[in-house]
Structure 1
Amino acid sequence: MKTESHTTASHGHLVIIGGGEDLENDKAILARFVELSGGANARIVVITAASGIADEKWSDYDRVFGELGARQRVHLNVQCREDANDEQHIRAISEADGIFMTGGDQKRLLALVGGTALDAEMHTALKVRGVCIGGTSAGASAMSGHMLAHGRADRPEKGAVSLGAGLGFLHKVVIDQHFSERQRLARLLSVIAANPYLQGIGIDEDTALVVERGVGIEVLGEGAVTIVDGRHMSTNISEIDDHKTPELIDVRLHLLPAGSRYRLPQDGEASRLPAPLAEFLENVTRRNPNS
């Protein structure tokens, strides 16, 4: 029987964390993840595939989720693609109420999980059963269909950053993390310049963008979420050489500090959202991300 908290989460939620979340004090972001997963009775599965120190990561999150009252905690220690197709691991995802992906290296995470039965079962868990999926740092970047794979940029630069395929819980966006702390605006601008059909999402440390599918978003934690929208911009990036700085005109930037909450109009309500932000919400909360 589903609990009241499960009913709250029936649309499915994503808790996308910019890394460095509080593990010692009030643990507000992870507490919200546990709440959206169903509270004390939730079955929490922790996937450490992104990390080369899986046991250490599991020890940290096992402790924290236990302190937050989650009584059922399961470690999925995926070390190879065979593990990600293992029937026991798939069963663990099929029985999960909350699925959490730790930090590490998003390329490692996708190399081990992308396109496997575990990947497919996570999509079913989110879209059919309405579970809560959380990810921090690399686990956050991996959530989008287009994943920031590697690269850095001290200024917007053509060819400085490359994308790879992500897990695809969100589409038409690219997610960067540790955003303000590692001064990654130039990196995200480099991505958007070359891929203007995407919207960039930069998430600060100890900050989370919470997406309720079909409903709305909220920002939790101590920092902010930065949205970079280049869909209306003019750029000369196709005309310049690699490693040159492109001209970027009419790039839109939205800053959503912690505490920001926006929801789509429900049941015929009039929208009070600014049009550019409404477009962002419609995109990231879309239940059919490929539409």
Structure 2
Amino acid sequence: MFSLKNVLYFQAGLGVLANMFLVCFYIYIILGHRPKPTDLISCQLTFVHIIMFLTAGDIWLTDLLASLNIENDVKCKTTFYINRAMRGLSICITCLLSVFQAVTISPSTSLLANFKRKVKKYMISALFYIWVFNFSVSTDIIFSVGGFTNVSENKQMKVSKSCSLFPMSYIIRVFILTVTMSRDVCLVGVMLTTSTYMVIILFWHQRQCKHLQSISHQRASPEKRATQTILLLVIFFVVMYWVDFTISSTSILLWMYDPVALTVQKFVVNAYPTITPLVQISSYNRIINRLKNLQSK
């Protein structure tokens, strides 16, 4: 368990540093360097991932609240509520990023081309409603989590060092899982649909260019590189999400606490926000070029 804990702290440290670097870069771009519409979406996704790390279980924010002598029950409700909202925002913003990129690269003759201007126009509103929606639907966690007291007497399920889930009837547990799963399945379905569409577009574009020059000598356009990066992130997110969902749903339905399974789940949950900035930093030439320009000045 000690080694797993060390892995979690290393993962969290790496994730926070990479995301902080990336959010600073996006802010630098947004404040006056001709930002792309996807920059605002990616910036918010990066910020969400930082908050996810800070509110994950027994890492950092929990210790900070404890040092301020805040009541344990309030501490648990606050951290779990924010973390639940951030996890919902992560899947929603990733879905929005996937949809936006699919619309962006769609040919002018396609039906999606008609939505290009509309998507840019309503992007701010969409992000606002996504934030409001996720903070609203996450309020149930306030009533179902609290400070840990005694598992044997109160049948609470310990989910961190000092927090636990309150007892719930099996019907309520199934209902909450069904509602959550319905929302997430819809979003994952949209991501897989747009990803499939983008793969078809890229394949079609590659075949169109084949008669001009050898594929091995072609330089990928910025749009193509961005699309490939988003596809990679979406696929990775979907895989990590279903692993996390399998572990968490099994624990809730069986009402069974396993410290090893809980630690593995935390590692899986944090895998996507850790990998995302690393993939973006290594894939976007714009970031590399900006860093080179800053070094040359």
TM range (shorter): under 0.3
TM-score w.r.t. structure 1 length? Answer: 0.25
**Greater Rg over alpha carbons, structure:** 2
Q: Answer 1 or 2: which has greater strand percent.
A: 1
Higher RCO (Cα < 8 Å, 6 or more apart): 2
Q: Answer 1 or 2: which has greater helix percent.
A: 2
TM-score w.r.t. structure 2 length? Answer: 0.25
